[in-house]
Chain A
């Protein structure tokens, strides 16, 4: 077991050394893979501790009572870190195949590994200020990846990403400063049960609203979601990793931290903002699904689906109920696994056929059976059909809303599941059971399978299988989440 600091700065040190040596640039991808594996192993060394329900804290730098860089390794952080770092390995392997013929690979891998370190920082941050630091750095480190192709469209999308994220971060900073002024310092470390002083109901509402607004940008809560579909111009591994896993989850994770560790769920229950935000989340879940329904571009459809699914996680957090929260945390795990698979499939299709739109993908299942098979499995999970992993979280969310006694939320959850099925299954059905429309000449010649290269295919297949494996054997998240719940409630 090592200090969380080491996990966070390992990528930075690696990059600095790599830049100083600056030879054998093509080896960078292997180096990055190695580092990400090391980080994953290091993260998993925390598992025994987490299982016992212990929390590790350490302070790196203390400037005064308020300003200190502080780390905290607990169940939720571990869950986020473990999921992200594992998926990072898959993404890097996937990138070997996917990025092969694109330029600027060196830059790509460098920022990919830097973002891993920063994401670990988000996961292990022990107070709001540390969290904010890494949250802001994540924006900057992922920006070069979003605009990787440097086309006009990409630059515009990148600009939008920066404007949204930096504005969101500024709002968060404002809230942090207000909080630290109110509490006169030393109270800002995350503690289950909350640290915000009671007695400032009006200010608490304002600060809470500001924090939620800020984190909603990365969590893509409507109407602050607009950067996410635009950011789909990024290379597919980037979209998969950041816009389904790391970046968006950092927003959701921030919401989780402020609700349970800054304000405390008892206090959140009394705040007026909570109800408003719950309504916004519900609208996001349904509306994003509806919009996804009308998207023809596959990646955009996935993006809107992400927006809707992130709503599930936020909903779980805001149910303020053990079962509901468990559902939300499970969904961080499930959604990451499922959505990255879907994105990888979309990338594989694009890589082989250069098709982006769903309407052009008729019959593609016969040509790419593995890819589309994986897509089908992941879609099942997205809808929440039992053997797949997605079922667990939706079930927990449903029972959470049942505990809360809200029939409306349960109804909306079911409606959203139907909508999910409505926009995922046609893709699968189209791909497997329709005849190919206007196949271009090249494909007709190779009248058979044309799967993507193995480095792309293997991560897809493993991830797709793991959605089923974890669906049956769900111990790992359960153990971790149990400890989180025990700690909070």
Chain B
């Protein structure tokens, strides 16, 4: 039974996605119950996956029994286990938030579960065509999730997302085709075994493949300068969508990309293309410019969106250092960032819902009106800046250590500098909310935030503290993943 676990997880998510609208049309009151219990079971299954991956090591699964070079290959290793667990936890909390807000749209839940299924598929895919299929599912559902608000800006954002990401998908598909042409395989393990020969025979084709992958996945990860779709999409989308897309979806594309890089191309490729340096430069630019753009924003959601651009930079940086500590930093930052950013997005959602304001300048004096929400926001912001006992500090620590191991002191300065830049755009929000008085004649009409809306935010905020003090636990799993990727 446990053997089929990876497929069962994805199937469960797909089936839940389909029955939710069904149940909604039959008996409306049942929808939240089904959604939440679906989310809970999802967490349990994911934890089981993680447990299995840690216990039994990497588990390969071939649906339909088609092995070797044509069949679909699914892998359940600590990386996949960790990611599905992380995703299911954040996913569940965001589901609670949606239920708390009281969205009466079964389609929204359905799309959410579809997205969840595609994410699980991406992290567990071990052959690139299967990967591509799940990425397409994820693309379509993401577009729908952004556009579901049906406002002009939402449709505009969704359209931008669709067009640019479709270009990305095209690049990836082309790359996959070329890779298949020169190696004859789609399974990552098999490609890896052929790559040394291919590197000698077709170095230029492989360079092309790599270029296509960098652009394609770069768009999907929103790595600078391919991030242009991100601010519009995130700021126009419904808050839970932005929270999920920002905190996890883009990062999971990153995992998929770097899994290919580490398994297939690394380290042979470095003789052909200076891949590490290219990615490092892109990451460094993302970190600095993302932060600079964030400072100039007046809209709270857009500020958070640009901050995502900067944070993706950290993760890409960690992966592209090709050192143990760098990888640890990247994985740790994916986990920490998911909690920090979803806290901030949901808190921002509460703020916007109860005041109707999005401009940072108009948030003066809100701290005393929405103390719980703002406390959570503050914790997450401080974690983002990297104040020590909170979780963000530790991932930055490992990233710096990784940069030093890779002999790149400039990157260390960039990371430290960007912490200061983070402070420069997060602290003013907090200071304004707590210590400024609203301008005369601009008294607030603040809708009361109900506990069911702020409890998810509080849980996420508290987990930023817990993950900081208990950073040992994720590190255990991460260490396993790192040894796996570094091949030692």
Residues of A near any B CB (own CB < 8 A): 61, 63-64, 66-67, 69, 129, 132-133, 136-137, 140, 144, 147, 150, 155, 158, 162, 166-167, 170-171, 173-174, 177-178, 180-181
Contacts and interface: CB of A to CB of B under 8 A. Distances in A.
A61 B469 contact: yes
A155 B471 contact: no
Contact of A133 (B388, B404, B416): B388
Contacts of B404: 177-178, 181
Interface in B358-397: 382, 386-389, 394, 397
B426 to A, nearest CB: 11
B388 A177 contact: no
A136 B400 contact: no
- Highest count of chain B CB atoms <10 Å: which of A150, A158, A177: A177
Contact of A177 (B394, B400, B472): B400
Nearest to A136: B387
Contacts of A136: 387-388
A177 B412 contact: yes
B309 to A, nearest CB: 21
A63 B472 contact: yes
A162 B427 contact: yes
A166 B472 CA distance: 27
B423 interface: yes
A100 B202 CA distance: 81
Interface stretch (B86-94, B166-174, B183-191, B429-437): B429-437
Given A129-B388, A144-B434, 9 more contacts: A61-B469, A63-B472, A64-B475, A140-B387, A150-B436, A162-B423, A162-B427, A174-B412, A177-B404
B397 A67 contact: yes
- Highest count of chain A CB atoms <10 Å: which of B413, B420, B475: B420
B401 A181 contact: yes
Interface string B402-418: 00110000001100110
Main secondary structure of the interface of A (DSSP, over half): helix
Nearest to A177: B400
B308 interface: no
A133 B382 CA distance: 12
B419 interface: yes
A150 to B, nearest CB: 5
Nearest to A139: B387
A158 B436 CA distance: 12
Contacts of A67: 394, 397, 471
A166 B435 contact: no
Contact of A150 (B423, B427, B437, B475): B437
A66 B437 CA distance: 43
Interface in B428-454: 431, 434-437
Contacts of A69: 389
B307 to A, nearest CB: 17
A105 to B, nearest CB: 14
Contact of A144 (B389, B394, B401, B435): B435
Contact of A174 (B388, B401, B416, B434): B416
B427 A132 contact: no
Contacts of A162: 423, 427
Contacts of A66: 397
A327 B309 CA distance: 52
B436 to A, nearest CB: 7
Contacts of A63: 394, 471-472, 475
Given A61-B469, A144-B435, A170 B420 contact: yes
Contacts of B423: 162, 166
Contacts of B419: 170, 173
A479 B419 CA distance: 43
- List 10 A-B pairs, minimum CB-CB distance, nearest first: A133-B388, A181-B404, A177-B400, A170-B416, A174-B416, A170-B420, A166-B423, A150-B435, A63-B471, A136-B387
Interface string B458-477: 00000000000101100100
A459 B412 CA distance: 48
